[in-house]
Structure 1
Amino acid sequence: MRNATLLRLLRLSPAALLAGCASAPPGPSVLSAFVVLGEQGSATARVLSSADTCPPIDVDGRQQPMQVRAAAATIAQRRTASAPADSKPSAFPVLTCELVLPAGSRTASVTGQALPLPRPEARRIVVIGDTGCRLKKADNAFQACNDPEQAPFGTVAAAAAAWGPDLVVHVGDYHYRENPCPDGNAGCAGSPWGYGWDTWRADFFQPAAPLLRAAPWIVVRGNHESCVRGGQGWWRFLDPRPLVPARDCNVAADDAVGDYSDPYAVPLAPDTQLLVVDTAATTWRGLKPGNTGYERYRDAYPKVAALAARTPYNLLANHHPILGFGADLDKNGQRYLQLGDKGLQDSFGAVDPLLLPANVQALLSGHVHLWEQVSFSSPHPSQFVAGFSGTAEATVPLPDDPMAVQPAPGAVIDAFSSWVGGFGFMTMERDGPGRWRVAVHDRHGAIKNRCTLTGRQSRCETAQIR
């Protein structure tokens, strides 16, 4: 029996052995350990620790020191999206450590916890978005964060991890607990709030833990990570680029720096890459020439185009859907449509009337709290919206004839699918050059819809998930 067990272990691939180790708990001072991918797929190990010094990291059997990205600190109260009386200083009693891993590293671990490393090709991708629990006084929106049925990100993350991804793409909005839970509200009683570590931990790092252990992440910035909201934690914890002064969102006078960053590309296969575009500070109201956002996003477009030119096929991940739409009710209870983000249509459209380079296959976005697929007969890429992974869902029905909707000038829909009111995650499995099999999963992992993406065209089996 002992020899048979040893033989089975020897037959396991290194990846399988690493996956088996990934569930080992970290040391007591390590609050979270994960891997984010940045420019050209560079992998950075991140560790959040309650200790005074960074732990060593073991890479391919050799211990190395980690560098401090951000020291523990309490940041003075700054201007936020909320009234001053509903804001407070951001306390970060946690050390953020990091190390850029050498390309080709085979194993990495911190205090016994194996870190998931990128594969040569990302063939199995999980896409999630809008995961935090909404506590927002201005909207009188207080989600029941204490009820996993109504705030199910932990369930979604566990099911997505069990699917076995090579890569996780989060399309933005990690942090939602901005204001205190009202007295007497049992659904969110005792929840942390504000923009400090306690809130980031409850809203993201604790529920995301199994998925952070399962695969490396590509992190997309949402409007909830802009400087007037959760930007301080975004730069400390998640963004793959170096943290530099004035970019940390600590001082409102520096927001024109901290709110914007250049696009970058992550290779997925020799012929395919994912373009990451930071659109945290755009607005559905539109942007005019001379406005900071207009100029920054117009400047970003040729950079996106230059990156896209490197490979035949590109997916583009940004938070705000350029070619998707949702619905809401006005103050009179009448439904109105939330069309594709006008700020990006204004700025990108000033460079290219078609809004995106011709070899962008599909957009992966969030922001609208539903799942959606849109394909076009006009020369536009498919749009997928995956803002359905934990934040209070949209409930206003979409039009009975969505094909008649024009989410952007000149964009003509020829295939559409949606899920309004359901929580879950999306998966993509590479099926050859320019071809992907897409599935929509509920919070427990059950498949609710299947789609294909071939070139720029996408089709789904079910038009409306119920």
Structure 2
Amino acid sequence: MSQPLRNMSLLAAAVCGAFAVAACNSDDPATDAAITDAYVKAAWVEMGPDNAILVRAASSHPSQCPLVEIDGQGRRMSLRAAAGTPAQRTTASPAEDAKASVFPVSSCEITAPAGTTRLSIGGHALPVPKANPQRVVILADTGCRMKKADNAWQACSDASAWPFETIAKAAAALKPDLVLHIGDYHYRENACPPDVAGCQGSPWGYGWDTWEADLFKPAAKLLAAAPWVMVRGNHEECARGGQGWQRFLDTSAFSAARSCDDPANDGIANYTDPYAVSIGGDTQVIVFDSAKTGKTALRSTDAQFITYQAQFRKAADLAARPGVNSLWANHHPILAFAPIAGAAPAGGNAALLSVGDATYPTAYYPAGIKLAIHGHVHDFQAINFSSNHPAAIVSGNGGDNLDVNLPDPFPANTNPAPGAVVDAISHTSTFGFLVMDRSGSNWVYKAMTKDGKLLATCTQSGQRLLCDKTGYLAP
């Protein structure tokens, strides 16, 4: 920000704070730019259902949302969720280790028209969607873990121990056209103990301060580089970071029933219908919300089974689009592995497998799915099957504590689910991210370290994923 604009911002803030709320309201672009810079804490662009261009901002302005310039025309954003402190709700932690979620910022939003070529807020450019994206950055599980139940206290101020900002900057430097985050943005659940040096002074709980520390500040350069597709993880379910998820990131309309403020509504707010985002005319990502899935198989009479089965069928309608390479994106791996120290790896998520198998026997996915991308397991996996199943990628190594490595050599005849026969697997447990580059009618996936060093290259052709390196990938 230039010094004159910085001075204007300080003046605008002083006027608003010292005199009247009316002084904070302006439809003059120059004045509004100064006010915006003083009050907007974060601004970003998301891709919603059918490629809706969702412009979002978090603002501490006391009375109105900022102006956004869309192709040179100023338009006022609408209030999505007002600043406030909802009553403390039950969470995944005991009441003595929890607190009310404080949101001193309002969430503002506007949908830009299809074909928009320029977006800006407060004089700062926002990324606009490309009609035919050539490069997509994929990452997941990016927050800094502070969890009393696991006695897990990541050193959030140490870039080696929690390298999400390093990853975000390396990914932004590659100039992506789109970012696909596969869930788990928020991990700072409980207060750092006084005898743990690495997380002293960190915010905790589920309010704005933790969302800012875990996502909006460290990812600033990547949020500015490209629009994002936001997939929900289990750390964004209602009893955890769901209130912030619904206020800031969810693509559905905000409402009291979907706010996660009242546990009585969790049965509504913990589920979202799947939707598709096109990546050019030949490829689409189907976003599936698995935030609340458990770890055990479901019975066909279970309410969650019925909900997920209906959502699988809605995803099938999306995947039926002819001539399109459909990529499935949900947080919990379905046909991939979870490493277990000293033992054979576990297979895919039992709850989702039970629904998939009952709905699409032995296939697990609807017809038309070519490749599935997940997070949740904190490593990288690229799996090709000799059976008729879509290839799988896990890209859950974006910053949170890493899982142990999968066995190397990988044990023969070890498969993630009955009938899904592994042909080849590439894997590593090191911090990093994934880059998806268009190559003619195919896509090439590049596993990168946290600093942007290439580990392996995998080429997708239909349901096949052929990697230049298999087995353990040494960083």
TM-score scaled by length of structure 2? 0.90
For residue 451 of structure 1, what is the aligned residue in structure 2? 458
State the secondary structure of the residue aligned to 1:58: strand
For residue 252 of structure 1, what is the aligned residue in structure 2? 263
State the shift of 1:395 in Å.
Answer: 2.0
Is 1:425 matched up with 2:437?
Answer: no
Is 1:291 matched up with 2:298?
Answer: no
State the shift of 1:397 in Å.
Answer: 3.7
For residue 6 of structure 2, what is the aligned residue in structure 1? none
| Contact residue 402 and residue 416 of structure 1 kept, 8 A | no
**1:325 maps to amino acid:** F
State the secondary structure of the residue aligned to 2:198: coil
Match of 1:355 among 346, 354, 364: 364
For residue 337 of structure 2, what is the aligned residue in structure 1? 325
| Contact residue 284 and residue 326 of structure 2 kept, 8 A | yes
Alignment of 1:301-450 (within 5 A): 301-312=312-323, 313-329=325-341, 334-353=342-361, 354-398=363-407, 400-420=409-429, 422-433=430-441, 435-450=442-457
- CA distance in 2: counterparts of 1:321 and 1:33, whole angstroms: 30
- CA distance in 2: counterparts of 1:352 and 1:234, whole angstroms: 31
- CA distance in 2: counterparts of 1:136 and 1:311, whole angstroms: 45
For residue 102 of structure 1, what is the aligned residue in structure 2? 113
For residue 31 of structure 2, what is the aligned residue in structure 1? none
State the secondary structure of the residue aligned to 1:54: coil
| Contact residue 416 and residue 459 of structure 1 kept, 8 A | no
Paired residue total: 437
Q: Give per-residue Cα distances to partners, 1:27-81, cap 9 Å, x unaligned.
A: 1311111000011111110011111221111111110111000100101111111
For residue 78 of structure 1, what is the aligned residue in structure 2? 89
Gaps of 5+ in 2: 1-35
For residue 461 of structure 1, what is the aligned residue in structure 2? 468
**2:335 maps to amino acid:** L
**1:444 maps to amino acid:** D
Q: Give per-residue Cα distances to partners, 1:374-405, cap 9 Å, x unaligned.
A: 11011110000000010010124435334521
- CA distance in 1: counterparts of 2:203 and 2:410, whole angstroms: 42
State the shift of 1:119 in Å.
Answer: 0.7
State the secondary structure of the residue aligned to 1:212: helix
| Contact residue 132 and residue 173 of structure 1 kept, 8 A | yes
**1:369 maps to amino acid:** H
- CA distance in 1: counterparts of 2:199 and 2:285, whole angstroms: 37
State the secondary structure of the residue aligned to 1:154: helix
Match of 1:229 among 240, 259, 262: 240
For residue 48 of structure 2, what is the aligned residue in structure 1? 38
Q: Give per-residue Cα distances to partners, 1:136-171, cap 9 Å, x unaligned.
A: 111111111111100000000000000010000000
- What is the root-mean-square deviation in Å for CA atoms of aligned residues? 1.5
Is 1:47 matched up with 2:54?
Answer: no
- CA distance in 1: counterparts of 2:340 and 2:304, whole angstroms: 25
- CA distance in 2: counterparts of 1:453 and 1:84, whole angstroms: 47
Is 1:198 matched up with 2:205?
Answer: no
State the secondary structure of the residue aligned to 1:269: coil
- CA distance in 2: counterparts of 1:134 and 1:336, whole angstroms: 26
Alignment of 1:10-49 (within 5 A): 27-49=37-59
| Contact residue 447 and residue 455 of structure 2 kept, 8 A | yes
Match of 2:142 among 131, 148, 153: 131
Alignment of 1:127-166 (within 5 A): 127-166=138-177
- CA distance in 2: counterparts of 1:58 and 1:208, whole angstroms: 23
State the shift of 1:328 in Å.
Answer: 2.3
State the shift of 1:336 in Å.
Answer: 4.7
| Contact residue 345 and residue 406 of structure 2 kept, 8 A | no
Gaps of 5+ in 1: 1-25
State the secondary structure of the residue aligned to 1:404: coil
* Alignment CA distance shift 1:311-1:271 (3 Å): farther
Q: Give per-residue Cα distances to partners, 1:82-112, cap 9 Å, x unaligned.
A: 1111111000000111000001111010001
- CA distance in 1: counterparts of 2:295 and 2:438, whole angstroms: 33
State the shift of 1:432 in Å.
Answer: 2.5
For residue 210 of structure 1, what is the aligned residue in structure 2? 221
- CA distance in 2: counterparts of 1:93 and 1:405, whole angstroms: 50
